[in-house]
Amino acid sequence: MENALGEPQTIVLLGGTSDIGRAIVDELVSPVTRTIVLAARRPDAVEAGPLTAPERTVDVVAFDAADTASHAGFVQDLVARHGDLDVVVVAFGQLAEQDDLDDDPTAAAALVHVNYTGAVSVGLAVAAQFRRQGHGRLVVLSSVAGERVRKSNFVYGSSKAGLDGFAQGLGDALAGSGASVLVVRPGFVHSKMTAGLKAAPLATTPTKVAAATVAGLRRGRRTVWVPALLRPMFAVFRHLPGVVWRRLDL
- What is the average per-residue pLDDT within 73-82? 97
Looking at residue 198, its pLDDT comes to 76
Q: Which domains does the chain have, with CATH numbers?
A: 10-245 (3.40.50.720)
**Of 44, 77, 56, whose CA–CA distance to 8 is shortest?**
56
Which residues have C-beta within 8 Å of that of residue 97, sequence separation ≥ 6? Answer: none
pLDDT digits (tens, 9 = 90+) for 4-22: 457 899 999 999 999 999 9
pLDDT digits (tens, 9 = 90+) for 202-232: 788 999 999 999 999 999 999 999 999 999 9
Q: pTM value?
A: 0.93
Catalytic residues: 156
